[in-house]
Structure 1
Amino acid sequence: MNKKIENPDSLYTQQIKKLLDEVYPNDTSAPSIYADARHFYTLTPSLLVHIRETEEQLASAMERDETGSQVAELHIKLKKSKQKLEDERQARIERINTVSRTIISLCEADNYDETQLLSAKFLGTLMLLTQGTAPGFARFHQRLKPLYKAVLILRLVDKLIQDESISHPYLALYRPSLSRMNGDRYWRDKWEKELAIPLISAALLQDIGLQHPDAQHILVGENRDENEFRLLAEGQRKALLKLNFLHTMNYLKRGLGMPTYVGVDVEERHRFNQLHEAANLFREKLMHDAFVSKSGIGELLKVPQIYVSIILSTKSDYTRKELPKGYLLIEQLAKKGGLNNKLAEAFIQIVGYFPQGFGIAFIPENERGEEKNQFEYAIVNQLNPKHPAEPHCRVVSRNLNYTTSGPDEVVSKSRNLYFPANQKKLMRIGRDRLQEIMSQLKSNFNADSVDQLAPPWWEPADFFADKKHQNLWKKGN
């Protein structure tokens, strides 16, 4: 009998990886949201041409008063082609709705605190799956971005509703939706169908137009031998933005469009159509404004997009050290009038300075609150820090050894080694002692590392790759 091979990941990590494949898999031929779009852009046009030609043949046959069997055959052929077109469209809608509901199930709970924790877990797991600048990192980051943005936009809209900062007419209708976190099933269902799914699908599809052959021609070249993550010439960049906008909007309207009501109740059909028409118009407005407006509803998409462009950058000079500067770009754009101040402030309150899954190196304290002559490692594991520079973390090392049962701790700014002033405190330890500490906590340690005094951050991907280290959000540690 063959032995069953244990999956190297926790159940939750498996779910996230499966979800990633359902949105944007490595295998471009596998069924997914992105494969659906490529199919629409490359194969649906020929089906539309076939339908148009069949309609012309039918019209011509009827004019010539051809035999009933020939006309009937063309009628059947046309009906089948139109049904195929419609079935494919409905399948695309069903896939994106199913994926959206899966995202909701992984980042939503029955109360506010648990929802924040699950959202942090979702975002942190995505980040911890990455390996810094490992080969192929740009492609992997590109695949992660849609999911990361989807959760951020949900939490941002909740925050704006909570702070009563909502002015858009459609969003204003959902002010009571936070009651879903107090067990209100009516608002949970209403929020999911009418607000959450439009928000999530907008985040997932924000760059779907780049899958169009015209955009791909710019990105990878005619012979597909160009690096799509290279720095584009100004003309190419502008052309790509226009193509992305054009084909993304076309996909929302024609590639997806309205779902079909199933049933015979006339009143129910009317309500169904009204509800989905309003939700679709909201999603299209959100996407349109994110592309072409300097302010307005589109900022709900733009702010997460800007943030993700830093923390999941695809640029060749990407470095983990720059991740805490994601908030800084949002802050600077708001100061210059490029973003709504209230919205930017709300977003920074959610994410803080240190993204979920970021590796924090810090100076621990003893029982008397005195700083020890050593450092330990932690991983950011919660949203909404009381102070943006002081992340809530799971401590993952104790007395120079990794642990699976470390406590949660808010790392104060005065003990976080990311801030250069704190690194100088460890100079008193001595080179030999510092070398001992670093060799035990750093797998790729070398003696020259000691001259850097202490790490301002650390790379937790290898730590997280071990299944027993993947539950950084478990309570009670």
Structure 2
Amino acid sequence: MNKNKKTYQTARLSAIPNMASAVSKKISLFQQQHRKVVEDATLFFSTYPDEINQLKKLKKKLNAYEHQIDIIVKYKKEHGHLPAIAGQKSSEKYLDQLYRYEQHDKKQFQTLRQNMIAQQTKRYENIDHLTDNMLDLLNNQRIFSQFLGTIVLSTPLPDEKIRCVRNEKFKPIYIAGLMVALFEEIRITHGFKNRYLTQAMEDMFTDPTASFMDIELNNLSNEEMAAYREEVLKPIAKAALLLWIGSYSPEVEEIFAGDRYRLLTPDERSLLVSTIKEKSMMYLKSGIGIPPKRFNTHQEKIDYTEYEKAKLDFMLSFFNEEDPSNVELQRLMKIPVVYSSFMVSTKPDFDYRRIYDAYDTIKKSAVDGELDSQYSKLFLAMVGRFPLGSGVYFLNPETGSIEQAIVSSLYPDNPHSPICKQITRRQLKSMTQQEIIIPPANNIFFETARQLSGYDDEYFKLKYQGSFVWNANEVWEVQIPALDFWKKDGTRKVCTAPPPIDD
């Protein structure tokens, strides 16, 4: 990959939003952009095969015309006159006719090819703009937490008919965010052996341990961050966004049989997975590919093609499980995919309490060898046991009341002690800009906390009916405005131990 004299645009880095309202608007924007990507893909899958066949037919006809014209012209040069042509009264008229046919089909060929290039450029630009907007919201822990939390809190309620459709659109964006964040954790703590990554990140960072995922301040310089985004983070995010783009192909729609969310048989599921991967790779190679560009010299074209092909091959690595050099990337991708199946589920039957099982599921899968143990450990430390955007009940030692809170930040110091925004006080709506850290001793999710709370079993049975968590989506933007919730003053308070139980 030729990186000589490569320069990067750093201007947009200074315009990354830092206000809650601006971040929410950004999320709405790239949700719209993702819909365009899906529309682009749907059109591509329906038209590309016919367009390619038409190009091949036109090319075959042009080659035939050229061959006949060459024979006739060569004969005239050798003999001084046109040859007699079977079935043709006038060889001259026949030659003129060949020229006209050739020009007509050449024009058709060029028009079709130019239209296909224009559509390819549009597809490339749409996914590129979407990725840029997403990466703006992966610039530090605070913005990243709001980015992922807003997605989770905006998902429809379990019984809403549009839930599967909406979550299907949320999921690629959610996975892409998690993949980029997990990649950053792995880069700093373990590193990667992938050839593209080692070459791309060689001498990229002044301090290789510096991260863009600090709480507030990004420790990377604008130059470092711009290079990192362009060479590494954007290809990773694009691969994640296009992971299931093949599901919009006619071949996959046929497997769905009119219902994208129905329960498939094992054979159908196996065929679905292989077909989606095949069509997603096809879209990445032919639908996106290497964007066309004008060059001043032939060497510029060679350098550009080599550079873009290296990035394209890297993105394709996420789909190619047969190449052993891609193992790291497959392991990286698998964890966010599993986690997203809980947080933005597209299953017709869904109980929101399942999201609290995600932590244990990934932990067990790592022990069983289904997920990478080191990567899983980093991921679980990032997301914690209680998912961002989930509802928590806790005993407030200041009032002795059991209050409600919503998990508001990632990267808890202890995965069992979520960082939250308290939304009730004495069980009435109340919210400040301070975050609270809720240890297990105060979180009634844990049986020990319930035993220490001073409330008897009958109270918990009547009040909570066996569910010691709650669905924060029910109050989101109804009782809890996003603008108020995401306002943080940067301070955090740890809940102290619950008051002693009176004898």
TM-score, normalised relative to structure 2: 0.79
The residue aligned with 2:277 is 245
Alignment match of 2:42 (pick from 38, 45, 55): 38
CA distance in 2, matches of 1:460, 1:339: 29
Contact 2:403 2:424 in 1 (8 A): yes
Contact 1:294 1:338 in 2 (8 A): no
Alignment match of 1:60 (pick from 48, 64, 70): 64
The residue aligned with 1:136 is 162
- Measured against aligned partners, the alpha-carbon deviations of 1:355-381 in whole angstroms (never above 9, x if no partner) come to 111111111122xxxxx4311111111
CA RMSD of aligned residues (A): 2.7
Contact 1:229 1:314 in 2 (8 A): yes
Gap regions ≥5 residues in structure 2: 1-19, 70-94, 213-217, 492-503
Residues 141 and 451 of structure 1, relative CA distance in 2, 3 Å threshold? same
Contact 1:198 1:279 in 2 (8 A): yes
Q: Does 1:92 align with 2:123?
A: yes
Contact 1:22 1:33 in 2 (8 A): yes
Structure 2 counterpart of 1:19, one-letter code: F
CA distance in 2, matches of 1:290, 1:96: 26
Residues 290 and 157 of structure 1, relative CA distance in 2, 3 Å threshold? farther
Structure 2 counterpart of 1:206, one-letter code: L
Residues 452 and 355 of structure 1, relative CA distance in 2, 3 Å threshold? closer
Matched-pair identity in %: 22
Residues 186 and 407 of structure 1, relative CA distance in 2, 3 Å threshold? closer
Residues 131 and 450 of structure 1, relative CA distance in 2, 3 Å threshold? farther
CA distance in 1, matches of 2:324, 2:37: 24
CA distance in 1, matches of 2:303, 2:368: 44
Structure 1 counterpart of 2:173, one-letter code: L
- Measured against aligned partners, the alpha-carbon deviations of 1:219-272 in whole angstroms (never above 9, x if no partner) come to 1x1xx3xx3222211111111111112111111111211122344255544443
The secondary structure found in structure 2 opposite 1:361 is strand
CA distance in 1, matches of 2:323, 2:244: 10
The secondary structure found in structure 2 opposite 1:380 is strand
Residues 243 and 426 of structure 1, relative CA distance in 2, 3 Å threshold? same
Shift of 1:304: 0.5
CA distance in 1, matches of 2:455, 2:487: 36
Contact 1:41 1:212 in 2 (8 A): yes
Q: Within 5 A, what are the aligned runs for 1:182-197?
A: 182-197=219-234
Alignment match of 2:446 (pick from 419, 422, 426): 419
Structure 2 counterpart of 1:235, one-letter code: D
Q: Does 1:375 align with 2:375?
A: no
The residue aligned with 1:257 is 289
The secondary structure found in structure 1 opposite 2:61 is helix
The secondary structure found in structure 1 opposite 2:360 is helix
Contact 2:317 2:326 in 1 (8 A): no
Contact 1:295 1:340 in 2 (8 A): no
Shift of 1:102: 0.6
Alignment match of 2:134 (pick from 95, 103, 106): 103
Alignment match of 2:485 (pick from 461, 472, 475): 472
Contact 2:433 2:488 in 1 (8 A): no
Q: Does 1:349 align with 2:353?
A: no
Aligned residues: 431
Alignment match of 1:217 (pick from 254, 266, 275): 254
Q: Does 1:202 align with 2:213?
A: no
Residues 417 and 262 of structure 1, relative CA distance in 2, 3 Å threshold? farther
CA distance in 2, matches of 1:299, 1:238: 20
The residue aligned with 1:76 is 107
- Measured against aligned partners, the alpha-carbon deviations of 1:397-420 in whole angstroms (never above 9, x if no partner) come to 122222342520111011112223
Shift of 1:70: 3.1
The secondary structure found in structure 2 opposite 1:409 is strand
Shift of 1:169: 2.8
Shift of 1:273: 2.5
Structure 2 counterpart of 1:36, one-letter code: D
TM-score, normalised relative to structure 1: 0.83
Contact 1:381 1:394 in 2 (8 A): yes
Alignment match of 1:163 (pick from 189, 200, 215): 189
- Measured against aligned partners, the alpha-carbon deviations of 1:169-212 in whole angstroms (never above 9, x if no partner) come to 33334274547633423222221111111100111111111111
CA distance in 2, matches of 1:349, 1:422: 22
Gap regions ≥5 residues in structure 1: 1-8, 25-31, 109-114, 367-371, 436-448
Q: Does 1:463 align with 2:445?
A: no
Structure 2 counterpart of 1:385, one-letter code: P
The secondary structure found in structure 2 opposite 1:415 is coil
Residues 411 and 291 of structure 1, relative CA distance in 2, 3 Å threshold? farther
The residue aligned with 2:497 is none
Residues 414 and 321 of structure 1, relative CA distance in 2, 3 Å threshold? same
The residue aligned with 1:386 is 413
The residue aligned with 2:464 is 452
CA distance in 1, matches of 2:453, 2:319: 49
Residues 235 and 415 of structure 1, relative CA distance in 2, 3 Å threshold? same
Shift of 1:16: 1.3
Structure 2 counterpart of 1:208, one-letter code: I
CA distance in 2, matches of 1:402, 1:291: 55
The residue aligned with 1:277 is 309
Contact 2:395 2:402 in 1 (8 A): yes
Structure 1 counterpart of 2:58, one-letter code: T
Q: Does 1:118 align with 2:143?
A: yes
Contact 2:172 2:240 in 1 (8 A): yes
Contact 1:295 1:339 in 2 (8 A): no
Shift of 1:128: 0.6
The residue aligned with 2:152 is 127
The secondary structure found in structure 1 opposite 2:318 is helix
Alignment match of 2:177 (pick from 147, 151, 174): 151
Contact 1:294 1:339 in 2 (8 A): no
The secondary structure found in structure 1 opposite 2:389 is coil
CA distance in 2, matches of 1:301, 1:130: 22
The residue aligned with 1:369 is none
Structure 1 counterpart of 2:434, one-letter code: P
Contact 1:129 1:461 in 2 (8 A): yes
Structure 2 counterpart of 1:16, one-letter code: I
CA distance in 1, matches of 2:287, 2:230: 19
Q: Within 5 A, what are the aligned runs for 1:393-404?
A: 393-404=420-431
Shift of 1:63: 4.3
Contact 2:362 2:376 in 1 (8 A): yes
Residues 269 and 381 of structure 1, relative CA distance in 2, 3 Å threshold? farther
Residues 52 and 453 of structure 1, relative CA distance in 2, 3 Å threshold? closer
The residue aligned with 1:445 is none
Contact 1:156 1:346 in 2 (8 A): yes
Q: Does 1:23 align with 2:44?
A: no
